[in-house]
Amino acid sequence: MSVSNRAFELADRRAEEERAEGIRRVQQAIRAPINVTASPFCDCGERIPDDRRRAMPRATRCVDCETFIERQSRRRA
Ligand SMILES: [Zn+2]
């Protein structure tokens, strides 16, 4: 096998592994229960999407607010 073929094979395998890892993560996120005790609404009144609540069961804010607050606390630190 030539060197370039070997490189292709390795890149191929890595891509395959990354795909499998991505699928695993998605399956985990789908299986994870939604935290029903937490409010599905952010402080700003925006509804937090179900897939976000599955991925982060303790998320109490929408993406916009979370990003905003993260940026604020980083500035303070
Ligand atoms: Zn919000």
Q: How far is the CA of 43 from the centre of ligand 1 (A)?
A: 6
From first to last of its 77 residues, the chain has per-residue pLDDT tens of: 567 788 889 999 999 999 999 988 887 776 766 666 667 899 899 999 888 888 887 788 899 999 999 999 888 66
**pLDDT for the residue 75:** 80
**pLDDT for the residue 76:** 67
Q: How far is the CA of 51 from the centre of ligand 1 (A)?
A: 16
Q: Which residue has the tokens 């409010």?
A: 39
Q: How far is the CA of 69 from the centre of ligand 1 (A)?
A: 10
**pLDDT for the residue 58:** 78
**In this structure, are residues 48 and 61 in contact, taking their beta carbons and an 8 Å threshold?**
yes
Q: Under 8 Å CB-to-CB from 32, ≥6 apart: which residues?
A: 54, 55, 57
**In this structure, are residues 33 and 57 in contact, taking their beta carbons and an 8 Å threshold?**
yes
Q: Give me the number of domains the chain comprises.
A: 1
Three-state secondary structure call for residue 5: helix
Could you tell me the end-to-end alpha-carbon distance of the chain, in angstroms, rounded to an integer? 54
Q: How far is the CA of 48 from the centre of ligand 1 (A)?
A: 8
For residue 49, give its domain range: 3-76
